[in-house]
Structure 1
Amino acid sequence: MALRMGRSTGSFAPGSAGERMGPAVVARAFQALPSAHREILAETVFRDRSVNEAAASLGVPVDVVKLRVYHALRALNTALDAPRASR
């Protein structure tokens, strides 16, 4: 099962159901992530690969992919929240 971007908000960002985050904001947050986080999100989210496919592509165990995705999504969420905190 591949990770998918939430359909209700149009972004990975938490918030009210109707709130949308611009693609430029998400792109900046993504670019601010460490390369390991960008790599795992690119494999699973952007290339729409399952954790099994990403594990085979990267040459790591499935559990490692799952752990990396978890940490990468948390880091992305933190990066997306950073501009909001300064409002």
Structure 2
Amino acid sequence: MALRMGKHTGSFAPGGPGERTPSAAVARAFQALPPADREILTETVFRERSVNEAAALLGVPVDVVKVRVYRALRALHATLGPPVTR
């Protein structure tokens, strides 16, 4: 699986097309993450920085950014559970 942060590659929300998780639930799940996970997702997802940019900004190796993003997204998916179908 290629990790392309900083580019619009679709939704990070779990589920397939036509399935959505209410934004309030996503916000609560995000706030429940540890500060380091919130920081890495803020830089890579919300601010759309590449992993290289985030690594330079945070002063950590690129591989650390990749691992943190992976773990943070998995934690979000685990917290959110299955999406709501419409």
Q: TM-score, normalised by structure 2?
A: 0.81
Which residue of structure 2 aligns with residue 13 of structure 1?
A: 14
Gaps of 5+ in 2: none
The alpha carbon displacement at 1:12 in A equals 0.9
The whole-number CA distance in structure 2 between the counterparts of 1:26 and 1:6 is 16
Report the 3-state secondary structure (helix = DSSP H, G, I; strand = E; otherwise coil) of the residue aligned with 1:57: helix
1:8-87 aligned within 5 A: 12-14=13-15, 16-81=16-81
The alpha carbon displacement at 1:20 in A equals 1.4
Q: CA RMSD in A?
A: 2.2
Structure with more helix by fraction = 1
Contact 2:41 2:72 in 1 (8 A): yes
Q: Percent same amino acid at aligned positions? A: 63
- For these two proteins, the number of residue pairs brought into alignment is 80
Report the 3-state secondary structure (helix = DSSP H, G, I; strand = E; otherwise coil) of the residue aligned with 1:2: coil
Report the 3-state secondary structure (helix = DSSP H, G, I; strand = E; otherwise coil) of the residue aligned with 2:25: helix
Structure with more strand by fraction = 2
The runs of at least 4 consecutive aligned structure 1 residues that moved more than 2 Å come to 1-7
Q: TM-score, normalised by structure 1?
A: 0.80
Contact 1:33 1:75 in 2 (8 A): yes
Gaps of 5+ in 1: none
Q: 1:81 to 1:5 in 2, by over 3 A?
A: farther
- Among candidates 1, 5, 10, match of residue 2 of structure 1: 5
Q: Which protein has greater RCO, CA pairs closer than 8 Å, 6+ apart?
A: 2
